[in-house]
Amino acid sequence: MDTLDLKVLEKLDKGDQRKITYFLKLLLNKSKYKKLKEEISIRRDEINKGETLNHDEIWNKLNV
């Protein structure tokens, strides 16, 4: 969703926002998004544990 879409969502009343949020959760739980959801979860865990690469490490990994 881009910024414009989020601004439109913010203008809806709370009831409609909850309905859209519920619908999005249903879509994200579909199997075609499961791999993406797992990847995001893994990345969040890495960030929480401080297991992220810094700028130099990224470039060194790319052999640039």
Other residues' Cβ atoms within 10 Å of the Cβ of residue 28: 13
Main-chain phi, psi angles of 63, to 5 degrees: 55, 45
pLDDT at 9: 83
Which pLDDT belongs to residue 28? 77
The per-residue pLDDT for 14 is 93
> Could you tell me which of 45, 42, 43, 24 has the C-alpha nearest to residue 33?
24
Q: So what's the pLDDT on residue 19?
A: 93
Domain range holding 35?
3-61
pTM over 0.75: no
Beta strands in the chain (DSSP E): none
Q: Which helix (H) or strand (E) holds 12?
A: none
Render pLDDT for 4-41 as a digit per residue (tens, 0 to 9).
577 888 889 999 999 998 988 888 778 777 888 888 89
Residue 64 has pLDDT above 70, yes or no: no
Domain count, the chain: 1
